[in-house]
């Protein structure tokens, strides 16, 4: 595991580069196939409305995967991730048009945890259409 960011070079409050991830129906179909999660609320508008949703919604695990990229891209080695957890608070609604939805992810170093293990905790902010979609979104990363 070889992170690109050195433990000495960060402090509590250090911001990670923010990213925006577009999501269209095409994205969801691909994710369904790759992940094996074929729940129709992620691709069938008729079914989604029948169960009370406003429209098709993104897989929670897709949103979790995108949010992780802000951490792993920053660290440089995805293998540097020690812990990663989220709470699914709101769905990402994905309309059937060319734009779809956008997941906005920003993050900052919340604390330096262990000088020997060189681990830091990163807190993520994950929103779509101006609303928080993941809560308690935290990662522990081992830096160089």
Partner 1 sequence: MALDQSFVGRSYPPTAPYEVGREKIREFAEAIGEAHPAYTDPEAAGELGHPDVIAPPTFVFAITFKAAGEVVADPKLGLDYSRVVHGDQKFAYTRPVRAGDRLTVTSTIEAVKSMAGNDILDIRGEVRDEGGEHVVTAWTKLVARAADDAAVDAAGKQGE
Choice from 14, 24, 37, 111 touching partner 1 (CB under 8 A): 37
> CA–CA distance from 24 to each of 83, 109, 121 (Å)?
29, 30, 31
User: Which residues lie below 8 Å from residue 134, measured CB to CB, with a gap of 6+?
Assistant: 63, 64, 67, 86, 87, 88, 89, 124, 126
The DSSP call for residue 93 is: B
In the complex with partner 1, which residue's Cβ is closer, 57 or 109? 57
The DSSP call for residue 5 is: S
In the complex with partner 1, which residue's Cβ is closer, 11 or 50? 50
| Smallest distance from partner 1 to CB 57, Å | 6
For position 47 contacting partner 1 by CB under 8 A, the verdict is: no
Choice from 58, 70, 105, 143 touching partner 1 (CB under 8 A): 58
Q: Tell me how far apart the alpha carbons of residues 9 and 42 are, in angstroms, rounded to a whole number.
A: 41
Partners of 63 in beta bridges? none
In the complex with partner 1, which residue's Cβ is closer, 11 or 80? 80
Q: Using the structure block, give the residue that is written with the tokens 């604390």.
A: 111
For position 21 contacting partner 1 by CB under 8 A, the verdict is: yes
Name the site residues for partner 1 (rule: CB under 8 A): 1-2, 21, 27, 30-31, 33-37, 39, 41, 51-54, 57-66, 68-69, 72-73, 77-79, 81-92, 133, 136
């Amino acid at each position: 595991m070889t992170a690109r960011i050195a433990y000495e070079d960060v402090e509590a409050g250090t911001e990670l580069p923010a990213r925006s991830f577009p999501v269209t129906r095409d994205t969801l179909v691909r994710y369904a196939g790759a992940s094996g999660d074929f729940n129709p609320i992620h691709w069938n508008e008729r079914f989604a409305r029948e169960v009370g949703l406003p429209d098709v919604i993104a897989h929670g695990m897709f949103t979790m995967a995108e949010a992780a990229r802000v951490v792993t891209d920053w660290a440089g080695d995805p293998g540097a991730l020690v812990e990663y957890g989220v709470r699914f608070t709101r769905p990402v609604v994905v309309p059937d048009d060319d734009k779809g939805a956008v997941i906005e992810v920003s993050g900052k170093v919340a604390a330096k945890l262990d000088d020997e293990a060189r681990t830091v905790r990163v807190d993520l902010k994950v929103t779509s259409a101006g609303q928080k979609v993941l809560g308690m979104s935290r990662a522990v990363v081992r830096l160089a």
